[in-house]
Copies of this chain bind each other. A is one copy, B any other.
């Protein structure tokens, strides 16, 4: 299949960006292709469109599935897997954030907790304290993320659009509420 100029450029761009995103070029391109596709695609259609080897596409799809970034569909009388991306873009963003947190933050948080449990050797007191401080900061962010995660999209979008006005809310809160210490 020949991709249109539009699709072609979009796909190539996502391929390049893929590397900056911790996914590889192939996976980025597959995702981009699915994102624009008018209907679900099966592995062979992807091979056809992008010219990768069959196994590479298979791997790529597996990786996208492990990221929860694609959905599986089936057609009657056809046992091939067809793939789509969720129609709701906000859902995609949530998934992306959640998965990156899982891969990039959570392991570090465990490690920090583990290090914090040990008694610092002489000379390591300041370093130990710095680790604790970092751990607290990450937990604050994590808690905040969990709470946003729990909002329905409607409210989340309303919140985002409130933007700067939140600053005032926060200023009020800062004065009126006992702030959790240190943070």
A interface residues with partner B (beta carbon < 8 Å):
4-7, 9-10, 13, 17, 20-22, 35-38, 89-90, 93, 103-104, 107-108, 111, 115, 118, 120-121, 123-124, 126-128, 130-131, 133-134, 137, 140-141, 143-144, 147, 150-151, 154-164, 166-167, 169-171, 173-174, 177, 179-180, 183
Contact = CB atoms under 8 A, between A and B. Distances in A.
B164 A173 contact: no
A66 to B, nearest CB: 14
A123 to B, nearest CB: 7
Nearest to A127: B36
B183 A167 contact: no
B111 A6 contact: no
Contacts of A22: 20-22
20 contacts: A6-B115, A7-B127, A9-B115, A13-B111, A17-B104, A89-B133, A140-B161, A144-B163, A147-B163, A150-B167, A155-B171, A157-B179, A158-B171, A158-B173, A159-B167, A159-B170, A159-B173, A160-B183, A161-B180, A162-B177
Given A13-B111, A173-B159, A167 B140 contact: no
Chain A contact residues: helix, strand, loop or mixed: helix
Contact of A150 (B115, B126, B131, B164): B164
A109 to B, nearest CB: 11
A6 B13 CA distance: 42
Contacts of A160: 140-141, 143-144, 183
